Structure 1
Amino acid sequence: MKVAITGGSGFVGSALTDSLRDEGHEVIILTRNSKGKTPRKGVTYVEWLNGHHTPEKALEGLDAFVNLAGEPINSGRWTSERKQRILNSRIDATREVVSIISNLEKKPEVLVNASAIGCYGTSKSRSFTEDSDNRGDDFLARVVQQWEKEAGKAQALGVRTVYCRFGLILGKEDGALPRLVIPYKLFAGGPLGDGMQWYSWVHIDDVVGMIRFAMENEAITGPLNVTAPEPKRMKDFGKTLADVLGRPHWLPAPSVALKLALGEMSVLVLEGQCVLPLKAKENGFPFKFSHAKEALENLLGS
């Protein structure tokens, strides 16, 4: 299989690349600058988004396109300028991906485009599946809606298109977990806000598995919730994390303090949504980590 990946050097992209390469697939990573990239067997770097390169030449015969490109949402306060970068980076990259596909003589079978469960908005009482028509009106929800709309243009080119709506991705050295662990290791862990917000988490291995499942399964199209089957409220997730680490779960972080410290970005930790992976379950996806405790034990070495 020949697979192109944008955002291939990021958290999810690196894990996906390793998984594909280890099984002998050909991986092409699109990058703004290929200089200094360490050559690896089975991985080719092709430059894009710099105005004078034509990546299409290297992408003929492509089987699948995976678009993970976008400015990280959790690496700095959401100023007006940064919010615009978060939006533009996703729209511009996705628009270019669709343009590349349109210029290929033979189109890939599938475009798997990153997305996020933030599209549903936040709720402490409702649960959401791919069939839910609820759409949020906050910043993240609006970003996701525009992002998916742009990716959806690939369908007009005859390409099966999947929107992987990622939940809270847990990884050993990247993703949300390292930051969540810090206060517990300092014996200062506890609920954030009232602790009743939902954490729709997912292990990085299942993220990679679901992307590949979407690539290889023709029945998967449109939105795909990339979350574990057992979401947890923050207070319960925190207790499980504390148990795995052998640390107390007792010191709450008040909502007001978090809002002052993080500004609008506090929505990432103070609000959430209960999102269920209905489509993955209906199509027989084999989750490696369905329960938070086993996922955390795997990642934290307990």
Structure 2
Amino acid sequence: MERRDFIKKSATAASIAGLGITAANAITNPLEDSPNPKRFNMKFAPHFGMFKNHAGEDLIDQINFMADQGFTAFEDNNMMKRTIEVQTKIGEALAKRNMTMGVFVIQKGGNLKNTLAAGKQEFIDIFLDGCRKSIEVAKRVNAKWLTVVPGAFQRRLPIGIQDANVIEALRRGADILEPHGLTMVLEPLSDSPDLYLQRSDQTYMICKAVNSPACKILFDIYHLQKTEGHIIRNIDLTWDEIAYFQIGDNPGRKEPTTGEINYKNIFKHIQNKGYEGVLGMEHGNSQNGKDGELAVIKAYKDTSNF
């Protein structure tokens, strides 16, 4: 080996060691398939853009990079906004790499718009149209779970009336989706006090009332840590209606280990309960560039190492 090559390789090794990543796990050529990739023991699902500094802007290259690093699932909130051609290519890439498609969002106009709590027929029609359109999208990418946010809280209506309006609308949505084996996952959010759906017990009640395998809970750990805390206890209380998890540490909504949530304990608890579904990585990277992307991978390796 020539001296300059030795120096270059030594510098690379030192950089990797500084991130706490061994040479065996280092990313040397992110766009080539690893011969024996070490797959995560849980179905963590990255988003587009999370590893673009390594994989580039091409969406299929990003999926391949995720698979090369051991990720076995993927999610994309904006799937319904993509062209049929792009959806088809994404579905083919996921199938080729044996990756599970996670959630995409049923388009109904935004988290606070066209609220189902209002009971207005025009809003219900927009939601049901989104359910119908989602079916073909789900087929192209082999999706099973579709995110639904009911919309804004209605201050001029009693809460019981709002609950009834939401339940009735969701029952109609479930009637559309259930024959196709699709499941709406309702996501309580912490983004605004004007949102109707904010707590896990509230979401549990609604799912029980809808009473359909096509309507379950999306337990977003970041949002519910902000809103109510007691994450493990509330997972246990609502367990039989949970179909999907999403991840983000608090504060900051970045990768695990950057905030106050003990994700290693939570992941272990979820796995011990027998969960085999997807855990969406719905968060940003705490650091910029390639180093930040490597830090995300390391965070998931560390918190799932049990």
Higher helix proportion (structure 1 or 2): 2
Which structure dedicates a bigger proportion of its chain to strand? Answer: 1
* Class of the TM-score when normalised by the shorter of the 2 chains: 0.3 to 0.5
- Between Structure 1 and Structure 2, whose CA radius of gyration is higher? 2
Scaled by the length of structure 2, the TM-score of the pair is 0.33
